[in-house]
Structure formats: structure tokens, C-alpha cells
């Protein structure tokens, strides 16, 4: 190692090398949400105001249930990534790490709970 130049020692010690993948996942989820949110509004709007039996019958069909699950899941993953970026930029130290863990737990809990509820409603 003593024969390496300063530049050679510094190569690989900089960025975490996950920024590009993180950026692409945010872009893909944004495009997916661009398609899913109008579909969700269209499918949810026709069921809005119905009785419990009508809603249960409506979401027992595969298309509305699938659109709702995908919209909530992709939305929560997009929220998780965006909130993580924001926390990494503005909150440092132990508070930042705890905030990231809390946001991740919250987003996975909301996504899993809503998926479970819609699956129970559909079956």
C-alpha cells in the first residue's frame, strides 16, 4: 500500500455508490404512480358512497383490488425512499438513523396492513 499514490488510495472511498440505483427506483415508482393513481381514483370513485355489501362485492373483483393494492404498495415504497433521502440530507447522527428506521417501519406497516385488508376484503 505504501507505493500507491494519494489518488489510488482515495478511489472507492467516496460515495456509497447507491445513488444511481436509488434515483432510478424513485423515477420508476413515480412513473408507476402516474399510471396507478388515476386508475385508483377511477376505480375507487365508482365504489365511493356504497354500502358495506356493495364495497365488499366491488373489491372482491380482481381488477379493483389489484389496482388498490398496487397503488398503496408503490405509493408507500415511493414515500419510504423520498423520506429517507430527505432525512439523510437534513437530520444527522443517531436521530437521523432512528428517523429512517421509523419511516421504513411505518411505510412497510401501512403497505402490509392495507394489502392484508384488501386481500381479506377480496376473499
- Give the pLDDT of the chain (123 residues) as one tens digit per residue: 567 787 777 776 666 666 788 888 899 999 999 999 999 999 988 888 889 899 889 989 989 999 999 999 999 999 999 999 999 989 999 999 999 999 999 999 999 999 999 988 888
CATH of span 18-122: 1.20.1300.10
How distant is the alpha carbon of residue 81 from its chain centre? 6
Distance CA 75, CA 29 (A): 8
- The residues, any chain, with a CB within 8 Å of residue 4's CB and separated by 6 or more, are none
pTM value is: 0.80
Which cell goes with 104?
421504513
d(CA 59, CA 80): 26
Q: What are the residue ranges spanned by the domains of the chain? A: 18-122
- Total count of residues recorded for the chain: 123
Amino acid at each position: 500500500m505504501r507505493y500507491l499514490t494519494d489518488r489510488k488510495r482515495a478511489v472507492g472511498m467516496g460515495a456509497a455508490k447507491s445513488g444511481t440505483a436509488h434515483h432510478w427506483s424513485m423515477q420508476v415508482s413515480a412513473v408507476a404512480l402516474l399510471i396507478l393513481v388515476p386508475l385508483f381514483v377511477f376505480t375507487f370513485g365508482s365504489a365511493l358512497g356504497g354500502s358495506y355489501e356493495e364495497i365488499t362485492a366491488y373489491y372482491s373483483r380482481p381488477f379493483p383490488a389489484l389496482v388498490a393494492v398496487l397503488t398503496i404498495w408503490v405509493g408507500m415504497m415511493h414515500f419510504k425512499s423520498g423520506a429517507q433521502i430527505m432525512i439523510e440530507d437534513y437530520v444527522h447522527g443517531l436521530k437521523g438513523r432512528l428517523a429512517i428506521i421509523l419511516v421504513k417501519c411505518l411505510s412497510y406497516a401501512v403497505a402490509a396492513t392495507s394489502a392484508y385488508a384488501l386481500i381479506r376484503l377480496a376473499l
